[in-house]
Amino acid sequence: MTLYHEVLHADDAFVLSKGHAAGAMYVTLWSVGALSDDDLRSFHKDGTRLSGHPPLRGIPEVLFATGSLGHGLSLSCGLALARKLKQEPGHVFCLMSDGEWNEGSNWEALIFLKHHRLDNLTLIVDLNELQGMGPTRDVADFGPLAGKFRAFGLPTVEVDGHDCVSLEAALRRRESEPVAVVANTTKGNGVSFMENRFEWHYLPISEEQYRQAILELSK
51-78 confidence digits (pLDDT tens): 999 998 899 999 999 988 889 999 999 9
The pTM of this model reads 0.95
Write down the domain spans for the chain: 2-217
Spatial neighbors of 170 by CB under 8 A, at least 6 apart, are 157, 159, 179, 181, 183
97-117 confidence digits (pLDDT tens): 999 999 999 999 999 999 999
189-204 confidence digits (pLDDT tens): 999 999 999 888 888 8
Give percent above pLDDT 90 in the chain: 86
**Is 43 in contact with 52 (CB distance < 8 Å)?**
no
* 8-37: average pLDDT: 96
Q: What are the two backbone dihedrals, phi and then psi, of residue 189, each rounded to the nearest 5 degrees?
A: -55, 130
List the one residue out of 171, 180, 177, 9 whose CA is nearest residue 88. Answer: 9
Q: What is the CATH number of domain 2-217?
A: 3.40.50.970
Give the C-alpha separation, 126 to 15, whole Å: 13
